[in-house]
């Protein structure tokens, strides 16, 4: 059974910043929380990353790939525990991959 990412999941950037998990999905839920979609872009809050030399370079957003190939929500792949979240700074440089801390197993649709 797949492990879905939902609005109640916890996702962190590689530097400990917290993703604000918003979604366009209004139809598919897991444990009563909307399932996140591959097309969702999540802002990052509180990333402390600084480049060598002292230039602040916090992660500001996470973009996703590798959603479910077997299910869809709003005609888009839902995010799973093994989905890949790329973390970007304000200059659109990838700064690492997001860490998925928790997910939900059972999904239902309205």
How far apart are alpha carbons 73 and 50 in whole angstroms?
A: 37
Q: CA separation (Å) from 8 to 11, 54, 83, 91?
A: 10, 34, 16, 29
Each residue's pLDDT tens digit, 29-66: 988 899 999 999 999 999 999 999 999 999 999 999 99
Per-residue confidence (pLDDT) for residue 15, from 0 to 100: 98
**What is the band of 72 on the pLDDT scale with cuts at 50, 70, 90?**
confident
**What is the band of 95 on the pLDDT scale with cuts at 50, 70, 90?**
very high
**pLDDT of 101 over the 60 cut:** yes
**pLDDT of 20 over the 70 cut:** yes
Per-residue confidence (pLDDT) for residue 93, from 0 to 100: 97
Percent of the chain residues past pLDDT 70, beyond the cut: 92
């Amino acid at each position: 059974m797949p492990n879905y990412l939902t609005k109640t999941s916890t996702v962190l950037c590689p530097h400990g910043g917290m993703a604000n998990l918003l979604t366009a999905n209004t139809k598919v839920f897991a444990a009563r929380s909307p399932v996140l979609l591959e097309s969702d872009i999540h802002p990052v809050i509180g990333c402390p990353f600084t480049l060598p030399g002292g230039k602040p370079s916090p992660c500001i957003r996470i973009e996703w790939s590798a959603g479910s190939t077997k299910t869809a929500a709003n005609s888009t792949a839902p995010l799973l525990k093994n989905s890949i979240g790329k973390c970007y700074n304000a200059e659109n440089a990838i700064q690492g991959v997001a860490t998925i801390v928790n997910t939900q197993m059972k999904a239902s649709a309205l």
